[in-house]
Structures are given as structure tokens and as C-alpha cells.
């Protein structure tokens, strides 16, 4: 179990130690020293000596190196990284933490203030994967009374007595204000959080069915949904659909707050194609010809200009450019007559002045106009590979193949092109 030396984890340590023989489990303790204040090493020694007196195994790690972002977020990330290493190494099968009902309610209020929706309002779960919180339904005041009665010592983190962090402000001011109205205020908020979380499961089930119906495409790390299909849906359903779409794309939407979802709603209601939003955690939302795109920001790689050779296989970003020989009788839609290939033809991305010659049409057509007419998403126009000779475009994957090089009757050498 995780032991900080504070009252909550200390109480859990002694309670579990009393119950281990009755229920037949073994206890090992661990401590992570964040080294964020001068007295942290003293807390670590206190925890170690307390565990030793109980005759239990003890593991400890210290990491006070600087990092970016929120100090609390970084501390949590490193602490749980330490726990994961212990789990992966076989040191323990589960990690128990000393979260109380007070912690759970504080967490619910924090999420409520961020406006992220009912799913996150449920507080701290009693079980999450290999992490268990046996005291999550117990008030902190009850633990303090138990520790005092049993004359068990613990340490106090002085940073808990400051208003520097939001959780501290909620603990020191919001909770006491609620309890002036009702001495059962914390229990009432906890009950509301559980009910909201249960109701959200029903809402998620409905939203999941809707999302499956309105998903147009699914890329490696992005999902495309039909914007018009969201019209008429209640706001609560739309917000859950957005979150589930991000999750379906492999993303974690927990860092998105109400202002981010409001921005998505505003973008969607504007129906302005080409608008995009950069969101926390490397996420993005974009409204384009394809639809409403939710997921990770695409990390485009630039296609290096390459001479036309066959065979060719070139990985660029999430896609692969291929040129391969095929038999005439197995001709595919975009197949080139190799003997018609002009000297100097290359694969590249678009440039100013590019044009096409479309069969049956006189004159030239600007590539930009072609992209707009075919509703090729603006985000793809600078990354789509083209075959060109000078400024004339000979091939656009899936959309165009010049009649000057397409394989017809009498062709002897065939080359199939693809971008997928």
C-alpha cells in the first residue's frame, strides 16, 4: 500500500495490518518522496521507520527533478509511475491508497467547477484497475478520532494549511461553509455524485449507440462524425458524444473543460468549414468537408520530392505511397501506362501555379479550384501526394489520373498507384 506518513494513509496501514491474518493477504508498503519541500525527506524517514516497526517490507523512490506544467499534476504522474513500476515488477498485485470520503467530495467539486460534465463528477472510484481505496466511504474526521484513540502518530504536510492549491481552498473554505448548513453536507454531495455517475452510465450507453450511427470515418487517431446528425440532440448527449469520440480515437478527454466543449459547440453551430481548435493534451477539433473531426492533432510529415520509380513504397505520416507493377488483365482504377510517363515526372505536394488537364474539357483547371470542387479537406491539401511534370498534375490519389498517362488498350507496362 502507498504510505505518505499523513493521517489517512497511516490509518489505512494500521487497519490493514490488523486485518491481514483474518482475510489472508500480505501487506507491503511504499513511499514516493516528491522532494517539493524541505521536510519531505523527514516524512519519508518517518514512514520507513513506522513500516519497519510493523515488520513489513518497504520500497521508496525520490524524484525532485524539475518538470513542466502543474506541480500537482507532475507529482501525481510521477507517483503513479512509481506505483506502476512496483506492480510491473511483481512487488505487489494491488496498490491501496488512503483516499477518504472527503477526498472524493473535494474531487467532485473540483471537476464540477471545471464544468466537464457528469462523468467526472462521480468523485474518486473505490476500485480503478489495480488501485483500491478501502477508506473512500469513510470521513477523515473518523480516521483522526481512531488514530487519537489508538495513540498512533502521523505527520502533517504543512502545504495542506495554505490556500495555494484549489483542493486546499475547497477543503479549508468550501466544505466548512457547506457544513454550516448541514452537518451531513459531505455525505449528501457524495450521494449526489454517485447518483449522477450512475445516471451518466445510461447517458453514455445512449450516446455510444448514437456515435456508432453518425461516425463517417475512423482514422488511426481521429474520428469523423456527421455534424448534421447532432442537430436536435440535447446538449448533455452532444457533450457525451464528443467525449466518447475522443476516447474512440484513443485520446483522453479528461483535460478538456466546459470552455473547450463550448468552443466545439460554437464551431459546430457556425458551420464554417475549415475552422479548427487546438485543445489540451495534443487534441484538436476541426470542421471540414469530411465532417466534425475529433482526436489528436495530425502530425503531418512533408513528402520529399521523389522521382517516379516502380516499385516504390514510401511511408509518410499515417499513410504509404505505393507504385507497383500489375498485369494488364488485373488493371485497377488508377493504373498508369509506364511507356507514356513523361521524363522528369516526380511525386511531390502542391505548389503555386499547379494545374490539371481534364479529359473532355478545354484549357486548364487550377489545382486549387479542383480541390475545392471535390471538397478535399483543406487540412489535406498541403499533404496529399501528387504526381507532376513541371506544373501539370498527372495524378491525385483517389481523385484524378491524367488521360495522357492512363493505361488503355495496347498498353504493355502497367503501374498501379495508391496512397493509403
Per the CB < 8 A criterion, the answer to whether 51 and 44 are in contact is no
Per the CB < 8 A criterion, the answer to whether 328 and 418 are in contact is no
- Domain harbouring 236, CATH code: 3.30.465
Residue-level pLDDT at 285: 92
Boundary residue ending a domain (270, 296, 322)? 296
| pLDDT digit string, tens, across residues 57-105 | 999 999 878 776 678 888 889 999 999 999 999 999 999 999 999 999 9
In a domain, 36, yes or no: yes
Compute the distance between CA of residue 396 and CA of residue 419 in angstroms, rounded to an integer: 9
Residue-level pLDDT at 54: 95
Specify the number of domains making up the chain.
3
| pLDDT interval class at 52 (50, 70, 90) | very high
Note whether 67 and 162 are same-domain residues: yes
Note whether 223 and 259 are same-domain residues: yes
Note whether 285 and 324 are same-domain residues: no
Note whether 353 and 405 are same-domain residues: yes
Note whether 38 and 172 are same-domain residues: yes
| Range among 33-47, 126-140, 206-220, 291-305 rated most confident | 126-140
| pLDDT digit string, tens, across residues 336-380 | 888 888 988 998 888 999 999 988 888 889 999 988 888 777 667
Q: Which of 25, 86, 38 is nearest to 60 (CA)?
A: 86
| pLDDT digit string, tens, across residues 166-221 | 999 999 999 999 999 999 999 999 999 999 888 888 888 888 899 999 998 887 78
Residue-level pLDDT at 308: 84
Is 144 or 235 the better-scoring residue by pLDDT? 144
Q: 121-128, long-range: CB within 8 Å, 24+ apart, which pairs?
A: 121/193, 121/196, 121/197, 121/200, 122/193, 122/194, 122/196, 122/197, 122/200, 123/190, 123/193, 123/194, 123/197, 124/99
Instruction: State the DSSP code for 54.
Output: T
In a domain, 2, yes or no: no
Note whether 154 and 57 are same-domain residues: yes
Indicate if the pLDDT at residue 272 is higher than 70.
Answer: yes
Indicate if the pLDDT at residue 113 is higher than 90.
Answer: no
Residue-level pLDDT at 65: 81
| pLDDT digit string, tens, across residues 293-334 | 999 887 656 678 888 888 888 877 667 888 888 876 554 567
Boundary residue ending a domain (242, 263, 296)? 296
Compute the distance between CA of residue 290 and CA of residue 224 in angstroms, rounded to an integer: 7
Note whether 99 and 44 are same-domain residues: yes
Percent of the chain with pLDDT over 70: 95
Note whether 235 and 366 are same-domain residues: no
Q: 390-398, long-range: CB within 8 Å, 24+ apart, which pairs?
A: 390/344, 391/351, 391/353, 391/354, 391/355, 392/354, 392/355, 392/356, 392/357, 393/354, 393/355, 393/356, 393/367, 394/342, 394/345, 395/334, 395/336, 396/356, 396/370, 397/334, 398/334
In a domain, 188, yes or no: no
- What is the length of the chain? 420
Over residues 120-147, the mean pLDDT reads: 92
Residue-level pLDDT at 299: 64
| pLDDT interval class at 3 (50, 70, 90) | very high
Mean pLDDT computed over every residue of the chain: 88
- Cα 120 to its chain centre, rounded Å, is 15
| pLDDT digit string, tens, across residues 7-16 | 999 999 999 9
Residue 282, domain extent:
195-296
Helices (H) and strands (E) in the chain, counts: 12, 21
Amino acid at each position: 500500500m502507498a504510505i505518505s506518513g499523513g493521517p489517512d494513509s497511516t490509518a489505512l496501514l494500521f487497519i490493514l495490518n490488523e486485518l491481514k491474518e483474518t482475510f489472508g493477504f500480505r501487506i507491503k508498503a511504499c513511499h514516493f518522496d516528491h522532494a517539493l519541500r524541505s521536510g519531505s525527506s523527514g516524512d519519508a524517514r518517518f514512514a520507513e521507520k513506522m513500516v519497519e516497526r510493523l515488520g513489513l517490507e518497504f520500497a521508496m523512490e525520490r524524484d525532485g527533478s524539475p518538470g513542466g506544467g502543474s506541480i500537482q499534476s507532475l507529482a501525481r504522474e510521477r507517483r503513479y509511475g512509481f506505483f506502476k513500476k512496483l506492480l510491473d515488477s511483481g512487488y505487489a498485485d494491488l496498490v491501496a491508497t488512503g483516499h477518504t470520503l472527503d477526498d472524493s467530495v473535494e474531487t467532485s467539486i473540483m471537476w464540477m467547477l471545471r464544468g466537464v460534465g457528469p462523468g467526472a463528477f462521480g468523485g474518486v472510484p473505490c476500485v480503478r484497475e489495480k488501485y483500491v481505496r478501502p477508506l473512500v466511504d469513510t470521513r477523515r474526521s473518523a480516521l483522526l478520532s481512531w488514530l487519537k484513540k489508538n495513540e498512533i502518530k502521523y505527520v502533517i504536510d504543512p502545504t495542506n494549511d495554505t490556500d495555494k492549491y484549489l483542493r486546499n481552498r475547497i477543503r479549508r473554505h468550501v466544505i466548512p461553509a457547506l457544513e454550516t448548513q448541514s452537518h451531513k453536507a459531505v455525505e449528501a454531495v457524495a450521494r449526489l455524485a454517485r447518483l449522477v455517475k450512475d445516471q451518466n452510465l445510461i447517458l453514455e450507453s445512449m450516446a455510444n449507440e448514437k456515435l456508432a450511427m453518425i461516425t463517417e470515418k475512423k482514422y488511426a487517431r481521429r474520428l469523423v462524425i456527421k455534424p448534421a446528425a447532432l442537430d436536435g440532440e440535447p446538449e448533455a448527449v452532444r457533450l457525451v458524444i464528443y467525449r466518447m469520440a475522443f476516447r474512440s480515437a484513443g485520446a483522453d478527454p479528461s483535460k478538456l473543460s466546459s470552455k473547450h466543449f463550448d468552443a466545439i459547440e460554437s464551431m459546430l453551430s457556425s458551420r464554417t468549414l475549415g475552422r479548427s481548435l487546438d485543445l489540451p493534451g495534443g487534441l484538436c477539433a476541426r470542421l471540414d468537408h469530411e465532417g466534425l473531426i475529433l482526436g489528436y492533432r495530425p502530425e503531418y510529415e512533408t513528402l520529399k520530392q521523389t522521382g517516379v520509380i516502380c516499385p516504390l513504397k514510401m511511408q509518410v505520416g499515417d499513410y504509404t505511397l505505393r507504385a507497383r507493377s500489375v498485369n494488364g488483365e488485373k488493371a485497377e482504377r488508377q493504373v498508369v501506362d509506364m511507356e507514356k510517363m513523361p521524363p522528369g515526372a516526380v511525386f511531390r505536394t502542391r505548389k503555386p501555379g499547379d494545374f490539371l488537364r481534364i479529359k473532355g474539357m478545354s484549357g486548364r483547371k487550377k489545382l486549387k479550384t479542383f480541390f475545392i470542387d471535390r471538397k478535399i479537406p483543406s487540412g489535406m491539401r498541403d499533404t496529399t501526394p501528387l504526381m507532376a511534370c513541371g506544373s501539370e498534375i498527372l495524378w491525385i490519389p483517389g481523385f484524378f489520373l491524367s488521360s495522357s498517362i492512363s493505361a488503355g488498350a495496347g498498353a504493355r507496362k502497367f503501374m498501379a498507384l495508391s496512397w493509403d
